[in-house]
């Protein structure tokens, strides 16, 4: 679902597969379940809670298990993954289609 310039107040919003452009979220609960990637651009978030469920939650639990259960190698793997997350995404090449991961 495409959302353009909407204001969400006190809402619970499952964001999988949705698009949000220039939207405002106030006191909302935002849920990502690990489905189709949401597209979020130019949005404002105030006092919102982010929640991961289903496949997204299982991925985070798995990463925690790697970090704490594989010794130094597991911790290094997760730290390297976090370092990659901190890097900004490269802009898509001109004329390229967005990835459907």
Note whether 8 and 28 are same-domain residues: yes
Tokens of residue 28, six digits: 């909302």
Note whether 39 and 59 are same-domain residues: no
- Phi and psi dihedrals of 32, rounded to 5? -115, 125
Q: How many CB atoms lie within 10 A of CB 27?
A: 12
User: How far apart are alpha carbons 70 and 53 in whole angstroms?
Assistant: 24
Q: What is the pLDDT of residue 25?
A: 98
Note whether 4 and 37 are same-domain residues: yes
Residue 13 lies in a domain: yes
In which domain, by residue range, is 12 found?
A: 1-52
pTM: 0.80
Q: What is the pLDDT of residue 94?
A: 72
Low-confidence ranges of the chain (pLDDT < 70): 95-101
Q: What is the pLDDT of residue 101?
A: 44
Task: Give the total number of structural domains in the chain.
Answer: 2
Q: What is the pLDDT of residue 97?
A: 59
């Amino acid at each position: 679902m495409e959302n353009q310039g909407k204001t969400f107040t006190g809402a619970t919003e499952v964001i999988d597969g949705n698009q949000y452009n220039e939207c405002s979220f106030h006191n909302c609960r935002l849920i990502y379940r690990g489905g189709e990637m949401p597209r979020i651009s130019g949005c404002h978030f105030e006092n919102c809670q982010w929640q991961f469920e289903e496949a997204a939650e299982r991925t985070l639990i798995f990463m925690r298990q790697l970090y704490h259960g594989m010794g130094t190698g597991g911790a290094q793997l997760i730290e390297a993954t976090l370092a990659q997350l901190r890097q900004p995404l490269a802009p898509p090449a001109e004329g390229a289609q967005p990835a459907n991961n």
